[in-house]
Amino acid sequence: MPQVPTQINFRNIDEPQGLADQIHDKVAGLENIYPRLTAARVTIERRDHRRPIGQLFHVLIDVTIPGAELVVSREPSDHDAYQELRTIVHDAFDDIRRQLENHISRQRAIQH
């Protein structure tokens, strides 16, 4: 568990059932890669809620580790209107995981 609990914010959207659990599981997966996470913040915002077909979602993930802050922002596009929100969240966590793995690799290279 992060030293600071995971913060999850939903804007212009009711929390989809089980999505917070999925986010907590994803953060736990990040902790398996890097146990020294100090904070994890996730914001999910529905954009253009007047849109008649499809919904656009903005997903922001902000992870703090000692000496660095990693951020992924998935801006909505027309393509996203046809993706499930859970898929967008999953893809955003894949991006933040890659950033974390790259950070770890750079740190190891500096140490050697």
Strand segments, DSSP code E, in 4-79 are 7-11, 39-47, 56-65, 68-74
Query: Containing domain of residue 61, as a range?
Result: 7-111
pLDDT values of the chain reduced to their tens digit, one per residue, 112 residues: 445 689 999 998 889 899 999 999 999 999 999 999 999 999 999 887 665 556 788 999 999 999 999 999 987 666 655 568 888 899 999 999 999 999 999 988 887 7
Nearest 5°: the CA angle 86, 50, 81 is: 35
Residue 44: give its domain's CATH number.
3.30.160.100
Domain presence at residue 2:
no
Taking the model in full, what pTM does it have? 0.86
> Taking a C-beta distance cutoff of 8 angstroms, is the pair 61, 93 a contact?
yes
Domain presence at residue 30:
yes
